[in-house]
Amino acid sequence: MSQNQELPYRFVIGLEVHVQLLTQTKLFCGCSTQFGQPANSATCPVCLGMPGVLPVMNRKAVELGVMAALALNCEIPSRTKWDRKNYYYPDLPKGYQISQYDMPLSQDGWLEIEVGETKKRIGIIRAHLEEDAGKSMHDESGRGGDTRVDLNRAGTPLLEIVSKPDLTSPEEARAYLEELRLLLRTIGASDCEMQEGSLRCDANVNVHIPLPEGGHAATPIVEIKNLNSFRAVERSVRYEAQRQYEQYRKDGKKFGEVAKATAGWDDERGVTVVQRRKEEAADYRYFPEPDLGEVVVDKAMQDQARVAMGELPATARVRLQETFSLSPYDSRVITAQGRPFIRYFEDLAKGSGDSKAASNWTTNAVMAWMNEHHKEIGDFPIRPDRLAGLIQEIQKTGLNMQRAREVFAHMLEQGTTAQDACKTLGFVVMGDPGQIAEIVRRAIAANPKAVADFKKGKVKAADSIKGFVMRETKGMARTEMVQEVVMAELEAAPDPS
């Protein structure tokens, strides 16, 4: 953030996000929405735009849209309608897209994001429903092959979520997108797989440049289309803002008269490529869809959606902090993994009676296993009650962390309890002070130099005595006990010098 404060301009960023809603079938026909089917196999006369067919609305899509809109704190009018957005493109067989224009499903919401320690509400202008277009597949070999089209995606239900231009840094843009994805995944509205195109993002960017006489100059907005990774969003916005600033420095006030434009993002070269003047609403000749009626979203439907959405990530973060005394950071890491992971943590915290240890084990060892194996928490082989057993074993015996990790690895491989793993590995912790004192006295006898140093006030000299004891016991003596006994025996020992 500090790097932005040094820039001679202020970012003004708004994001337009399209997410695919998690329905089995398309928005206006019964075709499957499953990803990865053979090209053009999931199509029918309705989504192919044949004459004489009629769309039938998928109620599940509206329900998911309502749920997402409520989770985004949007207002939901009691009536909403469909409109035709007309444009010609080969992947749009009807020549229009069924979308929503002047009576969207929802409007005026917000999403809270966190960048560093700062929380900020980002306004949502609207979230409306629409159908997706197909996919053109251009020959990119450079040999001039045909462009082909796959219409499997044509007619799948989308929710378009338009933010206010409240985002004031590339980091905030990324944080907004990450929070939006976590929210929609958590409530089950969308799987938000950017790789599969079920979350797509366009960024509207311009900059405000403070003027010496007061106020600021604003560069024209450029819309960067089809950003397909979080990193691309962050990089492209940063690049485009700098490009606009430099253009402004070259052209001065004239620059303010240039029309809005769209741009693409060349990820390899790391540059935006400005393409064309941006369409205005009038270019699309919107008009009400004559084949579909108005949709009534009544209170019962909203109540049902509220129940179905369950606990939101923001609420879960606060709850974990309050119930388990977690730090804001730990609660954020755990919540970001989704509901099953939160549940695992809770079971572990309750089972072990030590929420700090539970948080450390889940966010370190358990997450490391998930990342390494590209698996979910549901696939993790150690159940929370078993892992709770390990935490309790550590508390009881004072097993050190290195040994505890070996026990953990053994439990993973063998599926045993912590106690059995300790026995098999020979990790029986020595906790008898008399036995430890005997070893400490031998260490003292063998290290007159360390004792002499200690007597001269070098407290550090005790470390070599402790090291001797840990070697003798193969690290199986309780560390606090060794500490205590070594200090007591050193105090009591006669000064050899």
Q: Which residues bind Mn ion (CB under 5 A)?
A: 160
Residues contacting 10, CB < 8 A, separation 6+: 168, 207, 208, 209, 210, 216
- The phi, psi pair for 262, rounded to 5°, reads -110, 160
**Does residue 44 interact with Zn ion by CB under 5 A?**
yes
- Bridge partners of 115? 118
- If the CB atoms of residues 83 and 160 are measured against Mn ion, the closer one turns out to be 160
Q: Three-state SS string across 268-335, please?
A: CCCEEEEEEECCCHHHHCCEECCCCCCEECCHHHHHHHHHHHCCCHHHHHHHHHHHHCCCHHHHHHHH
- If the CB atoms of residues 46 and 326 are measured against Zn ion, the closer one turns out to be 46
Q: How far is the CB of 85 from Mn ion (least distance, A)?
A: 8
**Does residue 31 interact with Zn ion by CB under 5 A?**
yes
- If the CB atoms of residues 8 and 38 are measured against Zn ion, the closer one turns out to be 38
If binding means CB under 5 A, how many residues of this protein chain bind Zn ion? 5
Binding at 44: pick from Mn ion, Zn ion, none (beta carbon under 5-8 Å per type) = Zn ion
Give 75's DSSP letter: B
What Cα–Cα distance (Å) separates residue 55 from each residue in 23, 290, 291, 312?
A: 16, 10, 7, 34
What is the number of the residue whose Cβ is closest to Mn ion? Answer: 160
Pick the binder of Zn ion from 12, 19, 47, 187 (CB under 5 A): 47
Only one of the segments 26-34, 125-133, 199-207, 216-224 lies at the binding site for Zn ion (rule: CB under 5 A); that segment is 26-34
Q: How far is the CB of 158 from Mn ion (least distance, A)?
A: 7
- If the CB atoms of residues 160 and 179 are measured against Mn ion, the closer one turns out to be 160
Q: How far is the CB of 263 from Mn ion (least distance, A)?
A: 17
Only one of the segments 37-45, 93-101, 127-135, 392-400 lies at the binding site for Zn ion (rule: CB under 5 A); that segment is 37-45
Please list the alpha-helical segments (H only) found in 398-478: 401-414, 418-425, 433-446, 448-455, 462-472
Binding mask 403-442 for Zn ion (x = CB under 5 A): ----------------------------------------
CB atoms within 10 A of CB 299: 9
- Bridge partners of 209? 217
3-state secondary structure of 10: strand
Amino acid at 174: R
- If the CB atoms of residues 41 and 147 are measured against Zn ion, the closer one turns out to be 41
**Does residue 61 interact with Zn ion by CB under 5 A?**
no
Alpha carbon distance 17, 189 (integer Å): 14
- If the CB atoms of residues 241 and 295 are measured against Mn ion, the closer one turns out to be 295
Binding at 29: pick from Zn ion, Mn ion, none (beta carbon under 5-8 Å per type) = Zn ion
Q: Could you give the count of Cα atoms lying within 13 Å of 337 in the half-sphere of its Cβ? A: 23
- If the CB atoms of residues 29 and 429 are measured against Zn ion, the closer one turns out to be 29
Alpha carbon distance 64, 190 (integer Å): 9
**Does residue 27 interact with Zn ion by CB under 5 A?**
no
Residues forming the site for Zn ion (CB under 5 A): 29, 31, 44, 46-47
